[in-house]
Chain A
Amino acid sequence: MSTFRMWEVFAKAEEGPFFKDQNEWMLKSFIPQMKRVIKEYDIKYDGKTIVNCDDAFADRVWAAAKDFFISVGVYHQDTHRVMKFTEEEVNEVLYTKQPRYLIGAGHDQRWFGVRSIEDKERRPFHLFSPDANFSTDIHKKACMAYLKEPLLDGLCAPLLEDFMGRKATSQTPTEVAAAMEHAMNLRDAQRLVGKPDVWTVSVGTAETDQAQIAAANSEWGVRPSHRDGRMVSILTEMTTNDAMLNKSLHYRSYGNVFGNLCGAIFGGHAGGAEGTAILQTAYNIQGACLYGSCWALNFPFHLKWQSTTTRALLWLQSVLTQAMSRNSNLIFMNNLFANAGPGTDQLYWECANHALATESSGGNPWGAATCRNKFTDHATPLESRFYHEVSEGSFKMRLTRAKAEELCQKIMEKYEKLIPVDNYGKTIQEVYDMDKLTPRQEYLDQYKRMRDELCAMGFEFPY
């Protein structure tokens, strides 16, 4: 099955085994199968390591993930049927998967593709994204502020909170209109900062299929010409519905280089770090088979903290990144969700650790989302700048996993105890001069101090 056989895939939603209740499927299939593969493939976490250095272990996680996906399939909420894929189908998708895409246009055109562990040739693809809601009055300016960042290869713009004074609400005209406004702001912002052809992933404001379709427009919205990115979610856990399949159909027919948004929950249905690592790896296979997605955005997150920077979460991202880098042509990015907010030292440490753990494992950085993604206007390009500079520095230093592990352990000491604390920091209006779209001196000083502190640990920034 190639990624183009979408109609055969859609038919599975009407033909697979029937489970009236999703919970029944979870108890009878998902949970026992997960327990089985954890045991069968001997997947264990020692509770201390941050960056995995064991290739054989990464390979076992890959094998467990593939086995799990084939055994369990995908639950379709609307038809109550399980969409199952055979091993032959999965192998065909994995073999025929395109390992890189040329995206954007003109001066801003880039290759986006697979990398290897401790990659010495292919630099990470730097996707900037605050993954946060921004107020309508500053949305376009915030897009411009992010687009100004020198390392930026692509942008996923902040979400719009309101439309004409009304909260953007799923499945209503306000969501459709906010999605259109989001896309327009992004295109305007690109022109105004001289990056009209940069690759964008949009529109995050649109949760529903109809709002995504409404934002597709060559003149003012999402462009097929630049192969702009879109996203379609895997619902928790291993679940989909017709709205998601509608999105994948639209993205494919429109010509997007679109991704599969997937976040297994640590502490959730897959259990602890071991099961979550397997599930998150399986999601990358699922996205390619189910949606025909060109890439995946991995955001396995902590059930309690909703962040991706705890010890176990960093470990499982290093594992899944290595598992896929060693065993597949699947393209993916690693999504940073920090606990702390802008203007806090803790946020910088969390950014550094996520960048180090994922780059050395063969990943691509996507970030930075802050303060558990809870508060409007709580994200700035400054922490994203730091995050991507650390990732780029890691690449330029040819940082080994062993060295990354050493650094990550030191950095973890700086913030691990602070994770339960509500350290939500400042808004973009407080950190930035919103007329000039530059950081205020106080926060620029902090950013420089944090760079110096990281250098004192033996890290080298590229510039």
Chain B
Amino acid sequence: MSIEKVRQLMVEGEGDAAVAEVKALLEQGTEPRDIMAGLTEEMGILGERFENFEVFLPDLMVAGDAFMQVMNDVLKERLVGSAGGEKPKTVIVGTVKGDYHDIGKNIVSIVLQANGFHVVDLGSDVDPVAYMEAARKEKASVVGLSALMTTTMPGQEEFIKLVKEAGEQGKYLVCIGGAPTSSEWAKRIGADLWSFDAFECATKLKDLLK
């Protein structure tokens, strides 16, 4: 019984076994934040290997699924309640209205979760108003909008316009991404952040939200 064993089970996607192992560790007196740190580190390693194409999205997905199972079933409440436990920053993610492509958004979700963010995934074909309502409800630090087509990119601009009109500019960061987007496009529409990929997004957000 060890954190190392939990890390291994998580990578193998064995969520149930990982939860059981974590429960046993907690009963033994292991600090939740130590387990969390171990799992986050393992997800980080997996993320780096994914970035280098040594492992692929399915590996990241099954590990991410097990990670979330451990978080939701046993760790989340204990972490928030424990001394020095800091509530994770919330990121709303979704693919914009009219766009049904979600792979980029899904990768961002997994990588952000692995980096300690609380992610609320609104799915694809998301109305700008739905992003805004979710940001208010969740008291989000970031709203991330993905678009894979040139005809759906305006959905990102529409949301930023809505945020300004609602007087909510600055309440949360607006982050955009997707294959046809660029830093030039982000600048043009007034987004706070554009990233080349999910890893750059996580790094930049951690810096900005320090």
- CA–CA, A268 to B103, complex, Å? 8
By a CB distance below 8 angstroms, the chain B residues around A170 are 97-99, 149, 151-152, 154-155
By a CB distance below 8 angstroms, the chain A residues around B180 are 373-374
- CA–CA, A235 to B151, complex, Å? 16
Prevailing SS type, chain A contact patch:
loop
- Against A, the Cβ 8 Å flags (1 = close, 0 = not) of B91-112 are 0000001111111001100000
Say yes or no: is B72 at the interface (Cβ < 8 Å to chain A): no
Interface size class of B (residues with CB under 8 A): 20 to 34
**Contact, CB under 8 Å: A161 / B61:** no
Say yes or no: is B29 at the interface (Cβ < 8 Å to chain A): no
Of the candidates B53, B57, B152, the one whose C-beta lies within 8 Å of that of A207 is B152
Prevailing SS type, chain B contact patch:
loop
**Contact, CB under 8 Å: A169 / B155:** yes
**Contact, CB under 8 Å: A375 / B182:** yes
Of the candidates B56, B101, B124, B197, the one whose C-beta lies within 8 Å of that of A271 is B56
**Contact, CB under 8 Å: A205 / B151:** yes
- Near A by CB (< 8 A), chain B positions 107-150 give 107, 124, 149-150
Q: What is the distance, in angstroms, from A365's C-beta to the closest C-beta of chain B?
A: 22
- CA–CA, A34 to B97, complex, Å? 30
- Against A, the Cβ 8 Å flags (1 = close, 0 = not) of B52-69 are 010011110110010000
By a CB distance below 8 angstroms, the chain B residues around A207 are 98, 149, 151-152
- Against B, the Cβ 8 Å flags (1 = close, 0 = not) of A358-377 are 00000000000000111100
**Contact, CB under 8 Å: A267 / B53:** yes
Residues of chain A at the chain B interface (Cβ within 8 Å): 22-23, 26-27, 31, 34-35, 77, 133, 159, 161, 167-171, 175, 205, 207-208, 235-237, 239, 241, 243, 265, 267-272, 275, 303-304, 306, 372-375
Going nearest first, the 10 A-B pairs with the smallest beta carbon separation are: A170-B98, A271-B56, A169-B154, A170-B151, A171-B98, A31-B58, A170-B152, A207-B151, A167-B154, A236-B103
Residues of chain B at the chain A interface (Cβ within 8 Å): 50, 53, 56-59, 61-62, 65, 97-103, 106-107, 124, 149-155, 157-158, 179-180, 182, 197
- Other than A161-B150, A169-B154, A306-B179, give 16 A-B pairs with Cβ distance below 8 A: A77-B100, A169-B151, A169-B152, A170-B98, A170-B152, A170-B154, A205-B151, A207-B151, A207-B152, A239-B100, A267-B57, A269-B61, A270-B58, A303-B107, A304-B197, A373-B179
